[in-house]
């Protein structure tokens, strides 16, 4: 694989402007392109996209439909009917083939467009500098010469050369196969250490790079061209395909029995052969794969309309089985809009901050005896250090824009510190960059839980600024403070955390020379104090967790915050019932490492966890047979998101790595959207089962009618064309319309379906037999009554059997008078109209061998249809009672 990367780099479209700028300073190159130049290059070079799948031409779709085994059987039947001179049946069979093929192709195209639209919505984005400003653009619009701004969790959108790097570590395993991340350094000299490849992942640090190759000319593009990336069927589609094969074998076997019985009764071989073939085709729901594909794709589109973007169709079916929802805290259960409300310093005491959001507007009030200049000076020192040790920015509201509030660019916690510093009268980061330029840094990571930056000072020495979790900073090997001060700070941090605050400790110190590494400067520092940051719970979070429990889903909180903070928030939201006992019911990452938690599935709140422990928690629940959904937003959440049955990433504040690893992306970062997606998943699965019940019950009835009819004195109950016409009207638009049925009223008040449950389980096959038997008995009774009076019994049977199936489809609706899916009653009305046309239009009467019926025959068929409706409603009530008793 490494050779492939080298070849791609050698033959890629290198940016000519970069070749001419080998001696140009990085500062000049970092300005980026103008909008006009970027547009020109996009037109010349094409989009930065890899062609993973080629569009399927229309003729290939048609041929694929015609290669279906059932369609091929019908083609053989046409040859047979032409050979025996049965031209009427030949016309009907040909019409059925044309309609089925057309419907199948249309459904494929619709599903393909739905999936393509989802792919476009989930396309990755890139942060670039154009015209001297920063912006986010779709990765497909990146062009050679663009300046990329990369941070932890970003996926490199194109091949590039580093102009600037700070502790940059890149995972290139997806290209090279090397599992160890690679350190990258800036340089335009062609060294591999300064080269970035499309598709690789920034796991730590920051970088500024200039794009050299895009699209198919990038390393990823050349390798992807060699791969087969055709979409694979989902597990449900595979299970239904296997079920279809079993049903086909059973149907063929029963039709052979019918064929033999017909020959024994003296029927012509050709007639019986065509009729048996038609019956086999009608008995198997051949439109099931297309209905399933369309239901999954349209379900995903509906989820996208509810702010849940599905990246893999398999997730649609899995969502209905979710039993455990593992969620993080910040931005998911809480607002994610951090506000510094208190600052504590060892000597100056405590300060209280007013204001909301990220607007740098508010007051600072010193508490008690600390209300002097010394106290305020300590607060300003702490916030100045927090501004220097900071990679975020505050963005004011744009004039004329819909948003009227300040927003954060970067980490919300760091943005809150910037707002607090502005309220306290500290200098901004822009003002501090000149006298205190950053020389080096050690970025924050989830293991060390702290960040360190090194700055030159006007006095000629180096200023070390550090901030992080209290337990990572308030340590003797980091701070040069008396034990009494450290104990006091730890006590204060615990008190603030118990009140629900997120607490950061800040320290600084000076060095005479620049340390070899920032980590080597993390000792002998002076404690500046603690910042207590409030992140209020979302108004809907408590109800969302309650809705989860009502749907049989167990919510679990996994956070990196302090145990007291996690416990306080969990108790406030009802995740823990007893607020006073909350700290005792929270498991920490340290306890997990020490093996002090014997069963991870007994715990509902985990605090101070690392990414490996998130994996352990997910695996523990899965080992118990649960289906897990897990939320995440950071680069370190990627493995857990992949391990969970449903990985859920945040669309606004999540990293690109998290979004690409997830099955579901929340475009609004709302946990309630996961519940809405679960509801849609249950809707899709219920509709597929409803179609299966309807189609199999109809097919069962048709076989039973053909087998039992001769024994009751009806020699050939239905002709081949009549069977296929019934199949066309019931499995065509009417069957497809069932996939758009609204969600059942009680869908979110019942437990999730077991993941291993058979598609015909939970009483479905019993209902198939019940409805099939009722439809058979009623239809044959109508035919026998007509035959006893010397009427056209075959036409009565034809109309009654079709009416009974249309009655069943209406009776299976959860909401009889719903306006959410008017397509279904319209399809039923259209099918009924075409059924009547088969009896009264001369052309159709000729090819279908039907006779016109009087009011008595039509009324009898309508009564059979009403009976099918009643039987379907009765089966629903019995099934609902059974579910309630089992639930």
- Which are the catalytic amino acids? 328
Cα 70 to chain centroid, rounded: 35
Q: How far is CA 193 from the centre of its chain?
A: 35
Compute CA 409 distance to the chain's CA centroid, rounded to the nearest angstrom. Answer: 25
Take residue 227 and report the two structure tokens written for it.
């791969």
CB 472 within 8 A of CB 449: yes
Distance CA 168, CA 150 (A): 9
205: left (phi over 0), alpha (psi -120 to 50) or beta: left
Strand partners, 147: 129, 210
- Which tokens go with 706? 């053909």
Question: Which token pair is 383?
Answer: 């916030």
CA distances from 190 to 149, 185, 186, 683, 793 (A): 20, 11, 10, 55, 87
Mapped onto helix, strand or coil, the DSSP state of residue 703 is: helix
* Beta carbons of 838 and 797 less than 8 angstroms apart: no
Would residue 484 be called left, alpha or beta, if left means φ above 0 and alpha means ψ between -120 and 50 degrees?
alpha
Structural tokens at position 111: 């599903």
What is the rounded distance in angstroms from the CA atom of residue 199 to the CA atom of residue 154?
10
Rounded distance, CA 350 to CA 493, Å? 12
Helices (H), 424-482: 429-433, 470-473
Please provide residue 551's backbone torsions phi and psi, each rounded to the nearest 5 degrees.
Answer: -90, 10
Q: What token pair was written down for 296?
A: 């999954």
CA–CA gap between residue 689 and residue 410 (Å, rounded): 46
The answer to whether 453 and 441 are in contact (CB under 8 A) is yes
- Residue 120 makes CB contacts below 8 A (sequence gap 6+) with none
Between the alpha carbon of residue 397 and those of residues 100, 105, 165, 403, 405, the distances in Å are 55, 49, 30, 6, 5
Question: Containing H/E element for 799?
Answer: helix 793-811
Rounded Cα–Cα distance for residues 833 and 114 (Å): 31
């Amino acid at each position: 694989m490494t050779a492939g990367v080298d070849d791609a780099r050698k033959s890629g479209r290198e940016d000519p402007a970069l070749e001419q700028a080998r001696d140009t300073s990085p500062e000049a190159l970092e300005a980026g392109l103008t909008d006009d130049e970027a547009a020109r290059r996009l037109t010349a070079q094409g989009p930065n996209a890899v062609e993973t799948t080629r569009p399927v031409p229309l003729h290939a779709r048609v041929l694929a439909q015609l290669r279906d085994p059932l369609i091929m059987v019908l083609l053989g039947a046409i040859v047979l009917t032409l050979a025996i001179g049965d031209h009427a049946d030949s016309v009907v069979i040909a019409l059925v083939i044309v309609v089925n093929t057309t419907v199948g192709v249309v459904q494929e195209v619709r599903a393909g467009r739905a999936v393509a639209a989802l792919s476009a919505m989930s396309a990755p984005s890139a942060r670039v500098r154009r015209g001297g400003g920063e912006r986010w653009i779709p990765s497909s619009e990146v062009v050679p010469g663009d300046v990329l701004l990369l941070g932890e969790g970003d996926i490199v959108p194109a091949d590039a050369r580093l102009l600037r790097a700070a502790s940059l570590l890149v995972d290139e395993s997806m290209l090279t196969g090397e599992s160890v991340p690679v350190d990258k350094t800036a340089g335009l000299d062609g060294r591999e250490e300064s080269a970035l490849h499309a598709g690789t992942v920034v796991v730590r640090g920051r970088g500024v790079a200039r794009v050299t190759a895009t699209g198919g000319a990038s390393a990823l593009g050349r390798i992807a061209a060699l791969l087969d990336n055709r979409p694979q069927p989902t597990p449900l589609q595979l299970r239904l395909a296997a079920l279809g094969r079993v049903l086909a074998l059973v149907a063929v076997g029963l039709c052979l029995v019918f064929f033999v019985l017909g020959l024994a009764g003296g029927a012509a071989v050709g007639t019986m052969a065509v009729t048996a073939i038609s019956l086999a085709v009608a008995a198997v729901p051949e439109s099931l794969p297309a209905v399933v594909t369309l239901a999954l794709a349209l379900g995903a589109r509906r989820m996208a309309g509810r702010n849940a973007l599905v990246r893999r169709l398999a997730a649609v079916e899995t969502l209905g089985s979710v039993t455990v929802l593992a969620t993080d805290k910040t931005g998911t259960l809480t607002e994610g809009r951090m506000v510094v409300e208190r600052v504590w310093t060892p000597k100056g005491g405590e300060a209280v901050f007013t204001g909301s959001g990220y607007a740098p507007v508010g007051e600072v009030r010193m508490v008690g005896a600390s209300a002097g200049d010394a106290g305020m000076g300590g607060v300003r020192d702490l916030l100045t250090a927090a501004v220097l040790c900071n990679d975020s920015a505050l963005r004011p509201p744009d004039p004329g824009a819909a948003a009227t509030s300040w927003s954060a660019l970067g980490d919300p916690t760091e943005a809150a510190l910037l707002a607090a510093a502005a309220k306290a009268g500290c200098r901004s980061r822009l003002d501090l960059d000149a006298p205190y330029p950053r020389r080096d840094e050690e970025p924050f990571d989830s293991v060390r839980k702290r960040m360190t930056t090194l700055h030159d000072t006007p006095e000629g020495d180096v200023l070390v600024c550090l901030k992080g979790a209290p337990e990572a900073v308030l340590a003797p090997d980091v701070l040069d403070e008396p034990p009494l001060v450290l104990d006091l700070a730890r006590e204060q941090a615990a008190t603030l955390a118990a009140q629900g605050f997120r607490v950061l400790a800040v320290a600084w110190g000076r060095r005479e020379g620049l340390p070899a590494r920032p980590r080597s400067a993390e000792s002998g520092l002076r404690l500046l104090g603690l910042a207590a940051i409030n992140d209020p719970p979302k108004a809907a979070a408590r109800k969302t967790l309650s809705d989860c429990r009502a749907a049989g889903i167990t919510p679990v909180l996994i956070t990196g915050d302090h145990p007291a903070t996690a416990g306080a928030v969990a108790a406030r939201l009802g995740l823990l019932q007893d607020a006073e006992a909350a700290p005792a019911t929270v498991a920490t990452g340290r306890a997990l490492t020490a093996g002090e938690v014997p069963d991870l599935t007994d715990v509902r709140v985990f605090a101070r966890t690392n990414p490996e422990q998130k994996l352990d928690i997910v695996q523990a629940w899965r080992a118990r047979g649960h289906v897990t959904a897990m939320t995440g937003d950071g680069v370190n959440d990627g493995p857990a998101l992949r391990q969970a049955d449903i990985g859920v990433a945040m669309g606004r504040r999540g990293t690109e790595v998290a979004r690409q690893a997830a099955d579901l992306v929340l475009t609004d970062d709302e946990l309630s959207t996961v519940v809405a997606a679960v509801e849609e998943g249950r809707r899709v699965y219920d509709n597929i089962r409803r179609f299966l019940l309807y189609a199999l019950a109809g097919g069962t009835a048709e076989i039973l009618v053909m087998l039992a009819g001769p024994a009751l004195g009806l020699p050939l109950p239905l002709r081949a064309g009549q069977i296929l016409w019934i199949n066309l009207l019931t499995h065509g638009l009417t069957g497809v319309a069932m996939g758009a049925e609204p969600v059942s009223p009680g869908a979110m008040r019942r437990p999730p379906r077991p993941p291993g449950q058979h598609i015909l389980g939970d009483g479905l096959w019993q209902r198939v037999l019940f409805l099939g038997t009722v439809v058979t008995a009623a239809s044959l009774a109508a035919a026998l009554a007509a035959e006893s009076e010397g009427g056209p019994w075959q036409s009565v049977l034809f109309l009654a059997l079709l009416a009974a199936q249309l009655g069943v489809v209406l009776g299976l609706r959860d909401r009889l008078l719903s306006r959410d899916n008017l397509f279904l009653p319209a399809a039923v009305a259209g099918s009924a109209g075409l059924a009547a046309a088969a009896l009264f239009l001369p052309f159709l009467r000729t090819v279908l061998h039907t006779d016109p019926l009087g009011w008595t025959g039509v009324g009898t068929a309508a009564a059979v249809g009403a009976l099918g409706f009643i039987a379907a409603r009765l089966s629903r009530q019995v099934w609902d009672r059974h579910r309630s008793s089992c639930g």
